[in-house]
Structure 1
Amino acid sequence: MARSQDGCTDSSTFWPVAVKKAANPECLPSKTMGIALSRSDKCRIVSSTGLRSSAPGENSASCSEMNGIVKPSRNDIIQGSQTNNEEELLVPALPEKADIERGYVTPQQVYNLLNAEAGEPALHDPYYMLILDCRSADRYKQSHLVTARASVTVIHPDLGCLISCVQLQEFSIILLYAEEGHSPVGSQEARADNPTLQHCFFQLSALGMDPVILLGGYSAFHSLYPFLCTPRMVLLESERRLLTIYPSEILEGALYQGSASQAQDYRIIKNLHITHVVNATAEISDAFPNVLRYLRLRLSDDAQQDLRQALPEASRFIAAALRGSPGSPGGRVLVHCSLGRSRSSVLTLGFLMEQRRWSLLHAFRWLKERRTCAAPNAGFLRQLSEYEEQLFGRRLTSLDDIRL
């Protein structure tokens, strides 16, 4: 099982992404990524003088019970974007779920796994993730996910495993993909569409592994993240250290969180189609002021830093950027500080709390599942707890439940 924030398993909130069966969950590296399973609920605004029910279709999220990871629409992302005033309180909502077949991971999850950081980029570790391309050799040579290997070089379709079981157990994550793929693993449709992938999946399972399959295959991933596909074979640690690590994708195709160095890399800005940037640093200047729109907040990573103005200001800026204007589509926002861990995290959490109407705990879990290195300092967490009370009229989260 994937770990909860305190290192213990929590089947009500997370399910495994792809870890070997023989692994002890307590010893798994933090780079494995869980998947949110919280229920959806309705969003409402409540007057401080009494409750007001939502009108049909007003600020309400779907309540269908579904499994897997959330894929919010742009309307979901910016729902409730109106600014709170002193007479309004928010009614908390819960993250909605999308229907994802167990054993599959979405392209967004794979993107965040490839760009995960835990002290340093996880992808620099050759035993972090084994990606097996189960397409033809010609398709692999044309282009494949970065660091992927041709499955025939690892799992021979007739002769069996060409890499020892001991070596396989070194990997934290084993990911398989074909050209496309949506059918439930093991189904007749899946066996007919992707026989090589199905053979690898069950062969690895028989060896005690827990591989997972990329939903939609290479074509789905390439359509969203072509810059993470390459014709080059990248296997050695020295080669991996030359790879570009991208900001974490917090809301798909909308909100990203990362470091100052990423915010200063124009190739990253261009590839992610970033239009707006929240610069939470006091020491680092805006990199592309003539191209992008910036909000500069000049915060210090100090537990005594006052966030009372910064939280609503950042939330309004992000919401307006994602919403766009009449005749202009919504943009994409990068929130950054120096390392992308503390100051940027507190602003992202504040946005999720106010604009998505999630409690601090739900927002925190959502963020950590997509950016494992997120770690707002203790003073920031206390102020987020106060902000939660300001938004909802009461504190919904015990800080004892927040595990960095």
Structure 2
Amino acid sequence: MTGWWKQLMHLPDDFNEMGVVLSRVNNSCRVASREPVNTFQIVNSISDREANSPDSDHSSIIPNQTKVYEPEEVRVPSLPEAVYVEKGYITPQQAYNLLNAEEGQPALYDPYYILILDCRSAERYNDSHVVTARASVTVIHPELGCLISCIELQKYSIILLYAEEGCSPVGSKKARDDSPDLQRCFFQLSALGMDPVILLGGFSAFYALYPFLCTQRMVLLEPERHTLTIYPSEILEEALYQGSAAQAADYRIIKNLHITHVVNATTNCPDAFPNILSYLRLRLSDDAQQDLVEALPLASRFINTVLKTEPAGRVLVHCSMGRSRSSALTLAFLMEHRHWSLLHALRWLKERRACTAPNVNFLRQLLTYEEQLFGSRLTSLDDIRR
């Protein structure tokens, strides 16, 4: 179980010991702006010819393949900030990305992808629970023990437990006092050879950030799972998201994530909500001939301006499937404005969006972009193709 999950998430074997980004539990969600911001007020490197042409699409940028990007300054590389998370826990953001993981098709469509056990009372479970969660008593009974065979349990790639709250070290007296049912389930599953993880902050922390992924319905069977909405991956919490064209055209997703700005990297998919969202349109092809020399800095600065503006907006970057073109643009932003090497940016992105897969042409151009930003090549192609 553990190996499959870490392979999906591209995590190292010492994942539980390494620092990961700790999710902030914020009970107030910003409402998406209903007043679109003109793209040209944000990205000022668009040529006057494009902006003033009567035939121009003021949200569309076709990169000039002859222009060479020159950064304003040489950046000093830094490492992604790591905040320690207690062993045995995952953050609400990690749980969100697990629920919305895609590998060919949405992982959640597979009934054996993840077993989520709600270790609260039956009343609280019936009020609301994380989508696809089961009441723990239906799997592990306080007196009868495990109600599902060990062989059946081993079919699950991930087993996630949660109580109402909680972030104390597993097995500590405070953890036992705060959530005895969860602790009992955790150690009983561990004794059976499973490797369960606990949701940091419990249901209350997850609900505060992602109420749209909580329900009163019991969703277990595969046909029921195919009715679920799969959301874009959260790359920077409550700030930057990456997904597909279909997700960018789903207003429920846009509304629930409070998206205000969109980077559209497709050639043919129109901007879905131009009257209420602001768009940067980059008509890119996912092939060996596509030049990103102008697209990378445009997207990077567009995203940074949105996230730095007060109040900050939220950006969705998308292409057709949310794997190659959108990944290249997201990586450019992480390198330029987080000062991360391509290697560290790619690791960060893959931990949050497992299906990340920029084509080789884009990877080579990102390596050149890294050298332009930092004054030297920090990453090799072999490092990022493994």
Q: Check whether TM > 0.5.
A: yes
- What is residue 8 of structure 2 aligned with on the other side? 31
Check conservation: 2:248, 2:254, Cα contact below 8 A.
yes
Alpha-carbon separation, structure 2, partners of 1:35 and 1:394: 27
Superposed counterparts of 1:70-219, under 5 Å: 70-71=21-22, 86=71, 88-219=73-204
Report deviation, 1:87: 5.8
Superposed counterparts of 1:324-403, under 5 Å: 324=309, 328-403=310-385
Report deviation, 1:34: 2.8
- What is residue 258 of structure 1 aligned with on the other side? 243
Check conservation: 1:314, 1:351, Cα contact below 8 A.
yes
Alpha-carbon separation, structure 2, partners of 1:197 and 1:403: 40
1:319 to 304, 308, 312: 304
Give the gaps of 5 or more residues in structure 2: 25-44, 46-68
Alpha-carbon separation, structure 1, partners of 2:272 and 2:147: 48
Count of residue pairs the alignment pairs up: 342
Report deviation, 1:70: 1.8
Compared with structure 1, are the counterparts of its residues 87 and 228 closer, same or farther at alpha carbon in structure 2 (3 Å cutoff)?
closer
- What is residue 34 of structure 2 aligned with on the other side? none
Alpha-carbon separation, structure 1, partners of 2:155 and 2:13: 26
Report deviation, 1:302: 1.1
Report deviation, 1:282: 1.0
Report deviation, 1:303: 1.6
- Name the TM-score, length of structure 2 as normaliser: 0.85
Give 2:20's aligned amino acid: I
Report deviation, 1:67: 4.5
Compared with structure 1, are the counterparts of its residues 71 and 304 closer, same or farther at alpha carbon in structure 2 (3 Å cutoff)?
farther
Compared with structure 1, are the counterparts of its residues 280 and 36 closer, same or farther at alpha carbon in structure 2 (3 Å cutoff)?
farther
Query: Where in structure 1 do 4 or more consecutive aligned residues deviate above 6 Å?
Result: 35-38
Alpha-carbon separation, structure 2, partners of 1:72 and 1:129: 21
Report deviation, 1:158: 1.5
SS at match of 1:91: coil
Map Cα deviations across residues 155-211 of structure 1 (whole Å, 9 max, x no partner).
111111000000000000000000000111100000001000000000000000110
SS at match of 1:329: coil
Alpha-carbon separation, structure 2, partners of 1:36 and 1:209: 16
- Name the TM-score, length of structure 1 as normaliser: 0.82
SS at match of 2:279: strand
State whether structure 2 residue 203 is matched by structure 1 residue 226. Answer: no
State whether structure 2 residue 20 is matched by structure 1 residue 69. Answer: yes
Superposed counterparts of 1:288-307, under 5 Å: 288-307=273-292
Alpha-carbon separation, structure 2, partners of 1:390 and 1:69: 29
Compared with structure 1, are the counterparts of its residues 177 and 299 closer, same or farther at alpha carbon in structure 2 (3 Å cutoff)?
same
**Using CA pairs below 8 Å that are at least 6 residues apart, which structure has the higher relative contact order?**
2
Give 1:288's aligned amino acid: F
Alpha-carbon separation, structure 2, partners of 1:87 and 1:228: 42
Give 1:34's aligned amino acid: L
Percent sequence identity over matched residues? 72
Alpha-carbon separation, structure 2, partners of 1:191 and 1:384: 49
Alpha-carbon separation, structure 2, partners of 1:28 and 1:140: 26
SS at match of 2:229: coil
Check conservation: 1:37, 1:68, Cα contact below 8 A.
no
Alpha-carbon separation, structure 1, partners of 2:384 and 2:10: 17
- What is residue 29 of structure 2 aligned with on the other side? none
SS at match of 2:8: coil
Give 2:345's aligned amino acid: A
